[in-house]
Chains A and B, each alone.
Chain A
């Protein structure tokens, strides 16, 4: 039982750290790359300009954390939405594996992509 509780705390820290990152950083980036650039309100940065940013180690660490933690935030919330909202309690274990498995997979993909940028 004690082990179970400590697991919950661990996942909750991932959830809240991801929620904070998502709250602070995602709206502006989504606005720029999802609306302002595609709709021509602002000029998108050139490939070379973005690459000079992404080559900086600090920017890569930032992008890695920005991809990973919000995915764990999603995993936590989505799991409980299915559990409480749609009341799919009998699939609890499957949902747990899919949500946290998805977040882990996304983390690995982010690490791989950022690591192999030249």
Chain B
């Protein structure tokens, strides 16, 4: 066979039994640090950790009440620990962030249609904020009275 012709003939394709690897660009573990929206997303998701910490503190409070007045005094003292106070300041920031993002997302998650038109977002988020204020005031009254 002439050399020139040999170069134009492709070698036969080799098939294997294995599935070819998908093309997947490598994404860094820190992909969410670069952009504000991604960062906000991760902060929102991490707020759930502080929700869980609050539940643990509440379980400690319930257990203290169950045990007696001394245990309750100890619980109040534990909450005065500077480390716990710092933790609770951070927690409060995350929990309020959860509340705000939760209410603002509610209209997108549950769009309400009335008369063929979609209800404005503020008509769904607004009452949620009002309920938040009312419930907070009621719980303050209940605990402090």
Contacts and interface: CB of A to CB of B under 8 A. Distances in A.
Contact of B55 (A19, A28, A71, A78): A71
A117 B66 contact: yes
A116 B65 CA distance: 11
Q: Is the interface of A mostly helix, strand, loop or mixed?
A: helix
Contacts of B73: 47
A44 B76 CA distance: 8
Contacts of A77: 45, 47-48
B79 interface: yes
A53 B72 contact: no
B62 A73 contact: no
A67 B68 CA distance: 21
Contacts of B76: 37-38, 44
A71 B38 CA distance: 24
Size bracket, chain B contacts: 35 or more
Contacts of B79: 33-34, 37-38
A73 B99 CA distance: 13
Interface string B58-77: 11011101101100110010
B95 to A, nearest CB: 5
A20 B96 CA distance: 12
Interface of B: 27, 29, 32, 42, 45-49, 51-52, 54-59, 61-63, 65-66, 68-69, 72-73, 76, 79-80, 84-85, 88-89, 91-92, 95-96, 98-99, 102-103, 109, 128, 131-132, 135-136, 139-140, 142-144
B65 A38 contact: no
B51 A74 contact: yes
Contacts of B135: 24-25, 28
Contacts of A73: 48, 51
Interface stretch (A3-11, A80-88, A90-98): A80-88
